[in-house]
């Protein structure tokens, strides 16, 4: 039987904006007087990074990377490549990776190691959502927006099949028997 999904609101726009403001204040305080480059991970982190940088009170440079993953079945994120590298010089700079969500930790582990090759002064990590339940590699987050134990979430940059990125709040997709709900045959395991 085809799977159907409904959206259940998890975090309101107001909650997200409040937390993003707090993160921006902490980052601005911690990086005072340093050469900071925010490296956003496309596409999911674009809204989070934009809101974060608008609230920061120190000079900052912004760059983006895009990663692709290949494989099959539930191991689909097993092989990761960089499809758009960072373009700013990172040697000697303080790099802050800005991610939408950390799930298994494979993407972040790969990205940290890949950016390390450019010899930045430091690499730290800021993630909007830490989804800890399916972690495969240990990840130490320096700035975390929200901890969500499990489930598949959308909105505020996060998509399902390229839908829902534009929503200002964050929703969990849940299975439902309502035949009018979102069809979800291609959804990854939650």
| Site for ligand 5GP contains 159 (CB under 6 A) | yes
| Site for ligand 5GP contains 97 (CB under 6 A) | no
> Active site includes 103?
yes
- Shortest Cβ distance from residue 91 to ligand 5GP (Å)? 26
| Structure-token match 């200002």, residue found | 168
Distance CA 76, CA 62 (A): 29
Nearest to 153 by CA among 105, 106, 111, 187: 187
From the candidates 30, 51, 63, 103, which is the catalytic residue? 103
Distance CA 82, CA 56 (A): 28
| Site for ligand 5GP contains 182 (CB under 6 A) | no
- Shortest Cβ distance from residue 159 to ligand 5GP (Å)? 5
Q: Residue 60: how many CA atoms within 13 Å on its side-chain side? A: 25
| Site for ligand 5GP contains 40 (CB under 6 A) | no
134: left (phi over 0), alpha (psi -120 to 50) or beta: alpha
| Site for ligand 5GP contains 102 (CB under 6 A) | yes
* Window 134-153: residues binding ligand 5GP (CB under 6 A): 152-153
23/154 with CB nearer ligand 5GP:
154
| Site for ligand 5GP contains 107 (CB under 6 A) | yes
Cβ neighbourhood burial of 40 (10 Å; 0-12, 13-18, 19+): buried
| Structure-token match 């440079």, residue found | 61
Buried b (16+ CB within 10 A) or exposed e, 97-119: bbbbbbbbbbbbbbbbebbeebe
The binding track of 47-76 with respect to ligand 5GP, each residue x by CB under 6 A or -, is ------------------------------
The binding track of 8-27 with respect to ligand 5GP, each residue x by CB under 6 A or -, is --------------------
| Site for ligand 5GP contains 155 (CB under 6 A) | no
Distance CA 11, CA 46 (A): 18
> Which residues lie near ligand 5GP (CB under 6 A)?
44, 77, 99-108, 131, 152-154, 158-160
Active site residues: 103
């Amino acid at each position: 039987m085809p799977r159907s999904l409904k959206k259940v609101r998890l975090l309101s726009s107001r909650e997200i904006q409040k937390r993003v403001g707090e993160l921006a204040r902490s980052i601005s305080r911690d990086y005072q007087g340093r050469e900071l480059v925010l490296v956003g991970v496309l596409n999911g982190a674009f809204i989070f990074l934009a809101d974060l940088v608008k609230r920061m009170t120190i000079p900052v440079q912004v760059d983006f990377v895009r990663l692709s993953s290949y494989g099959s079945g539930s191991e689909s994120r097993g092989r990761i490549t960089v499809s758009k590298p960072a373009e700013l010089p990172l040697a000697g700079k303080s790099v802050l990776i800005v991610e939408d969500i950390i799930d298994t930790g494979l993407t972040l582990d790969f990205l940290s190691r890949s950016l390390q090759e450019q010899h930045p002064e430091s690499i730290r990590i800021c993630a909007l959502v830490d989804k800890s339940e399916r972690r495969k590699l240990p990840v130490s987050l320096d700035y975390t927006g929200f901890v969500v134990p499990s489930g598949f979430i959308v909105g505020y940059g996060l998509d399902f099949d390229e839908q829902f990125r534009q929503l200002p709040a964050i929703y969990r997709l849940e299975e439902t028997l309502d035949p009018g709900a979102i069809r979800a045959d291609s959804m990854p395991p939650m």
